[in-house]
Structure 1
Amino acid sequence: MVVLATKVYVQGDARERSLDALRSLVGNEIEDLDVEYTVGVRRDDFAVVTIEGDDEVVARNVLREEFGEITPDFEAGETYVGTLESWDEDGFVLDAGEDVRIPASELGLGQGTPVQIVERFGLVQHVPLRFVYGGDADDSEAEDADADGADASETGRHRLADEERDRLYEWTRGAGRVNVNSATRGEVRATVNRAGHARDIVTVERLGLLEQSIVCKDETDPPGLLAAIGDYLPAEIRCVIP
């Protein structure tokens, strides 16, 4: 069994459509392997894939690489994936099977409060983010280590992974984006088409099962696109403006 680092948090017909989309995504990744699989959802909304067959080890590794994995155990200094659960003036809280708080000082995303950073980088709730687990040192140990110039992984404080910081900064260097949650990639593409803006975008990039990033063309105004599709999507939507 693999617990994927992506959530199915919508209900009703939308939940069934989401599970159908997840089955298709999983099938695309492992259909050539000698395995049988079933897709489900844990009580905490994380997607679960149960795999059996001669290639089950390979299949699990493929899915871990594609989606990230929620694991019960952490090691200091190692990189994991969690979904953005909440944010406040003190930092981010990621859900990685347990709450992992990333202090504001360990986000590494430039000036501003965490709330301002969410707006600047167009982050929406539940988007998967990679982080480095910092261990279990208590606050006094963390302060002492900070005074000695230690890395966050040695202080007991978690931080965003370098590759995650690079990805988010790359978003701000492009033509602009509109990020969405609570909808599959197919639903977002259909919504853009319905709103008459298919020619205004480059692609819809999948961030998680229900978190998407609409990549705009150079001449497209992200706030204008958001306004055009907002009425069609019962979702959290934010812009990334270069």
Structure 2
Amino acid sequence: MVVLATKLYVEGEARERALNSLRSLVDNAVGDLDVDYEVGVRHDDFPSVTVEGEDAVVARNVLREEWGEVVPDLEPGETYVGTLESWDEEGFTLDAGEPVRIPADELGLGPGSPAQIRERFGLVQHLPLRFVRGGEDEPARLADEERDRLYEWSRGNGRLNVNSATRAEVRATLNRAGHARDYVTVERLGLLEQSVICTEDTDPPGLIASVGEYLPAELRAVVP
């Protein structure tokens, strides 16, 4: 079994749509392999995929590579994926199957409080983030590759980051609201966390104002 490092936290019909979306994504990833699989959701909202068959080892590795994995024991110095659960003046708290505290000094994303950093980089709640587990005398920190990814967001075209919606739902909302020509693509960050990559002439905060009423979600702009 592989526990995917992304969360399914919506309820009702939205939950069923998200679960169907996840089943499709898992099928796209491992459907051509000689395996049988079953998708479930743990009590803490992390999805689990039980895989059996001749290619089970390969399939599990594919899923780990694509989503990251929640494991029972976090080893010091190793890189894992956790979801952004909360933030305060002292740092971020990620959920990696257990709470992981990243002090403000270990974010490595420039000046400002954790709340200001979250705003600047458009970090929506539940966003999967890679981190390095600390040791006995060392705190956890954001992984170098995660810092590089977030800085890259601030250098390219603007972005609109969204949670609580699948990629298909975000694309449909943008198109329905008349913004089909205002974005390049919708990048999947997690099952329910997406990043709308804007065209060069699109103003991300303006896009929030236009589509916010259609998406019952948290929206954060990244402005280069």
TM-score per shorter chain, which class?
over 0.9
Partner of 1:47: 47
Question: 1:1-242 residue pairs with structure 2 within 5 A?
Answer: 1-135=1-135, 137=136, 155-242=137-224
Secondary structure of the corresponding residue to residue 70 of structure 1: coil
- Inter-partner Cα distance in structure 1 for 2:125 and 2:95: 11
User: For each residue in 1:73-110, what CA deviation from the matched residue of structure 2 results, as whole angstroms up to 9, or x when unmatched?
Assistant: 11111100000000001000000000000000000000
Once the two structures are TM-superposed, the CA of residue 156 in structure 1 deviates from its matched residue by: 2.3
- Inter-partner Cα distance in structure 1 for 2:32 and 2:24: 13
- Inter-partner Cα distance in structure 2 for 1:169 and 1:127: 16
User: For each residue in 1:166-213, what CA deviation from the matched residue of structure 2 results, as whole angstroms up to 9, or x when unmatched?
Assistant: 000000001100000000000000000011001010000000000000
Secondary structure of the corresponding residue to residue 5 of structure 1: coil
- Inter-partner Cα distance in structure 2 for 1:95 and 1:218: 34
Name the aligned partner's letter for residue 63 of structure 2.
L
- Inter-partner Cα distance in structure 2 for 1:37 and 1:133: 30
Name the aligned partner's letter for residue 187 of structure 1.
E
Once the two structures are TM-superposed, the CA of residue 221 in structure 1 deviates from its matched residue by: 0.4
Percent identical among aligned pairs is 75
Once the two structures are TM-superposed, the CA of residue 238 in structure 1 deviates from its matched residue by: 0.5
- Inter-partner Cα distance in structure 1 for 2:47 and 2:85: 16
Secondary structure of the corresponding residue to residue 6 of structure 2: strand
| Structure 1 residues without counterparts, runs of 5 or longer | 138-154
- Inter-partner Cα distance in structure 2 for 1:223 and 1:197: 13
Larger Rg belongs to:
1
- Inter-partner Cα distance in structure 2 for 1:40 and 1:5: 13
- Inter-partner Cα distance in structure 1 for 2:66 and 2:8: 17
- Inter-partner Cα distance in structure 2 for 1:160 and 1:41: 26
Once the two structures are TM-superposed, the CA of residue 224 in structure 1 deviates from its matched residue by: 0.7
Once the two structures are TM-superposed, the CA of residue 2 in structure 1 deviates from its matched residue by: 0.4
Partner of 1:151: none
Q: TM-score, normalised by structure 1?
A: 0.92
Name the aligned partner's letter for residue 200 of structure 1.
D
Name the aligned partner's letter for residue 175 of structure 2.
N
- Inter-partner Cα distance in structure 2 for 1:202 and 1:235: 21
Secondary structure of the corresponding residue to residue 15 of structure 2: helix
- Inter-partner Cα distance in structure 2 for 1:25 and 1:229: 26
User: For each residue in 1:18-59, what CA deviation from the matched residue of structure 2 results, as whole angstroms up to 9, or x when unmatched?
Assistant: 000000000000011000111110000001101111111110
